[in-house]
Amino acid sequence: MFQVTPRDALRFTKLCVCFIFTWPPWPEANNIVKLLFNFFSWSSIIFPTLLGIALLNAARYQLDDYLALTKSLCLAFSCLQLVIKILVCKGHRSRLEMIHCSVKDFIENATAREMALLQRYVNRCAPMHFIVNVFALVAGLAMISGPFLLPINLPSDAKYPFDVDKHPGWDVAYLHHVVAGMQCASITPIECHAAVLIWFAGARLELLSEEFQNVTSIQEFNECIKKHQILLKKTDEMIEIVRLIVVTSTLMAGLSIVTGAIHIISHEAMVIKFQFIVIDGGFALILFISAWPAENLINFSNEIGQGAYNSPWIQNRPEMRKNVLFVLQRSQMQCSISVPGILPEHSLRYYTAFLSKTFSFFTTLRIVFDDSNN
């Protein structure tokens, strides 16, 4: 049976985001590679930005047609989300490069025990990452295949400053939709990229928790404390990047689900409904992809204190007891992904609350539509 290794998982994650150039080249890459990366990373912003502008331009003329208006807004929100996430990755390029090198070096120099734990993490999340990336690809293909399945001219109602009803205007507009649509399908790989970094931080904390339990002297315990401080610093740097991606996903998922829900419960063609079911379902999966490792990170940042408490501190000097107390107090300040006033604490509990409110909204909207039709 084929098994995905931690190295394979890292390569797959990098491959999935290569179309939008958010994974910086390794430090040993030559100047030409870095120059090309800079060029394509900036150019990857152009297509979704222009499509978003064209969709907002179309929305100006659809104020009397709420179905067309919400469709344009839903797709514009997807473009905006992609642009924001690319800019976040570009703004933190040096920090991302450092984190990637840390992950790569740890995997290459991991002991048998460390590699076994990393493999357990990969076995846990690799199937889900593969499924959601395929789901995102299907969403992109479903959107751009609209003109071949439905009596529509373009995949969206985007309004261009030239005639798109005949060639070559139609060819340019459709090519723009194809490129921007497949780039928007890379929103999910960006989230998987962020999730991999969160999973890795949680794995390092779990390993350190086990090390605390296995110490035999105060010197080893002090070494674990130093490792803990370094890990906390690296985790905080990772959270600075990831929380911007997560909060963008949360806000845009809410907006897109609100606008897409109208099409799902309306009496439109099944192909149109399927497009928005895929988009809204994709946004729900995107939030789960990061909520799952975020929950794991919270658990094992707290578990450090339990690991220190389970160490043989009673048999050692009073100085070690003071150090145990210090670790216990520090572990109460859990590592969590949050943005004050917007995202309280990203976790599975928050995710279930989000889903509950989403289903409540669908139910309420369905009742309103039934009443209006009657």
Q: What is the pLDDT of residue 309?
A: 78
Which pLDDT band, with edges at 50, 70 and 90, does 123 fall under?
very high
The CA distance from 55 to 15, in Å, is 29
Mean local confidence (pLDDT), 155-174: 87
- In this prediction, residue 21 carries a pLDDT of 87
For residue 317, the model assigns a pLDDT of: 67
| Paired tokens of 314 | 């009673």
The band of 1, judged by pLDDT with boundaries at 50, 70 and 90, is: very low
pLDDT > 70 in the chain, percent: 95
Position 269 pLDDT exceeds 80: no
Mean pLDDT across 218-234 = 86
Residue 2, pLDDT > 50, answer yes
Q: What's the pLDDT band for 48 if we cut at 50, 70, 90?
A: very high
Predicted model pTM: 0.88
Average confidence (pLDDT) over 176-180: 90
| 5 vs 257 pLDDT, higher one | 5
- The yes-or-no verdict on residue 152 having pLDDT over 50 is yes
Q: What is the rounded CA–CA span in Å between residue 22 and residue 62?
A: 34
Q: Is the pLDDT of residue 164 over 50?
A: yes
Write out pLDDT tens, residues 75-113. 888 888 889 999 999 889 889 999 999 999 999 998 999
Whether the pLDDT of residue 340 is over 90: the answer is no
Q: What confidence category does residue 199 fall into, taking pLDDT thresholds of 50, 70 and 90?
A: very high
